[in-house]
C-alpha cells in the first residue's frame, strides 16, 4: 500500500498592506452588465479553468461591473433575487473587491463598490506566490450575524455553498470574457480580516484572483 502524499502548509512570513496606487474614491459606481456579451454557456463551461499567471493590467469598469453582477448581482429586481443562491435568502456572504487603490465592498442592491479601507491588501489574500500580482482579488466574507435564525450546525455548510456558487459564477464569467481566475482557500483568516477591517462576526472563507491571462489560451473564436 502506498502512502498518501499530503500537502504541507507552513505559516508564511508576516506581510503588511501596501500603499494604494491611484485615486481612492469613496464610492465606485459600476456600469450595468451587457446581457448580450460573452459566449454561450456551454462554451464557457468548456473553457472554464484555473490559472495562476496574470498580467497586472487593470480591469475596465465595464468588466468589473459585469463580473460582480455575475457573482451575486440582482437579476430579479421585483423581488431582489440574485444570480447566486442563498438559503432562505439570508444573503450572508459579502464580496470584497481588493484592488490596487483600496479595499471595497460590493453593495449589491445599488450595484456599486463602497470603500472599506484605503490600502492595497492584495498580497494578504493568500499565501501563493502569484497573489498580489493580478489587478483584482475577490474575498468572500460570511457575515455570521445574518445566520442567527439558522441552526448552528447548518451555518458553515450553507454559507460555504453560497460562496462556492458565487465563485463559480465568476469563473464562468471569466471564461466567457477571456479572463483568467483561480479560487483559493489557503488564506490567513486573521491577517486577512485585519487587512479588510472586518468585524468579529465577519469571516473570510474564500478568495479568488482575477486578471488578464499572462499566457495565451485557445481563442474564444476557435
Q: What's the gap between Cα 177 and its chain centre?
A: 16
Percent of the chain scored above 90 by pLDDT?
Answer: 74
CA separation for the pair 51, 89 (Å, rounded): 32
**Residue entry with cell 442592491:** 109
Directed axis angle between helix 152-177 and helix 61-72, to 10°?
A: 140
Distance CA 123, CA 129 (A): 9
Query: Tens digit of pLDDT for each residue in 26-76?
Result: 999 999 999 999 999 999 999 999 999 999 999 999 999 999 999 999 999
Q: Does residue 13 register a pLDDT over 60?
A: no
CATH of region 40-212, choose from 3.60.9.10, 3.40.109.10, 3.30.1540.20, 3.40.50.300: 3.40.109.10
pLDDT of residue 132: 76
| Percent of residues, the chain, with pLDDT higher than 70 | 88
Q: Which of 179, 172, 170 is nearest to 53 (CA)?
A: 179
CA angle 162, 40, 52 (to 5 degrees): 60
Q: Which of 207, 217, 179 is nearest to 58 (CA)?
A: 179
Domain-wise residue ranges, the chain: 40-212
Tell me what pLDDT residue 14 has: 58
pTM of the full predicted structure? 0.88
In which band, very low, low, confident or very high, does the pLDDT at 216 lie, cut at 50, 70 and 90?
low
The full DSSP string for 146-198 is GGTTS-HHHHHHHHHHHHHHHHHHHHHHHHHHTEEEEEE----HHHHHHHHT-
List Cα–Cα distances, 178 to 116, 185, 187, 212, in angstroms: 29, 23, 26, 8
Amino acid at each position: 500500500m502506498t502512502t498518501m502524499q499530503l500537502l504541507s502548509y507552513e505559516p508564511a512570513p508576516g506581510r503588511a498592506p501596501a500603499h494604494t496606487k491611484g485615486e481612492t474614491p469613496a464610492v465606485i459606481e459600476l456600469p450595468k452588465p451587457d446581457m448580450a456579451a460573452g459566449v454561450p454557456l456551454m462554451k464557457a463551461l468548456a473553457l472554464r479553468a484555473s490559472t495562476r499567471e496574470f498580467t497586472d493590467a487593470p480591469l475596465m469598469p465595464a468588466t468589473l461591473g459585469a463580473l460582480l453582477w455575475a457573482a451575486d448581482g440582482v437579476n430579479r429586481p421585483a423581488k431582489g433575487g440574485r444570480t447566486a443562491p442563498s438559503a432562505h435568502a439570508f444573503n450572508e456572504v459579502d464580496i470584497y473587491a481588493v484592488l490596487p487603490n483600496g479595499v471595497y465592498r460590493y453593495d449589491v442592491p445599488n450595484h456599486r463598490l463602497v470603500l472599506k479601507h484605503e490600502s492595497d491588501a492584495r498580497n494578504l489574500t493568500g499565501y501563493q506566490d502569484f497573489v498580489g500580482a493580478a489587478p483584482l482579488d475577490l474575498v468572500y466574507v460570511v457575515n455570521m450575524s445574518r445566520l442567527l435564525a439558522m441552526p448552528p450546525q447548518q451555518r458553515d455548510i450553507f454559507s460555504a455553498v453560497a460562496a462556492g456558487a458565487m465563485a463559480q459564477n465568476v469563473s464562468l464569467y471569466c471564461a466567457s470574457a477571456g479572463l483568467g481566475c483561480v479560487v483559493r482557500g489557503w488564506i490567513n483568516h486573521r491577517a486577512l480580516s485585519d487587512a479588510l477591517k472586518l468585524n468579529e462576526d465577519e469571516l473570510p472563507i474564500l478568495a479568488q484572483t482575477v486578471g488578464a491571462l499572462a499566457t495565451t489560451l485557445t481563442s474564444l473564436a476557435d
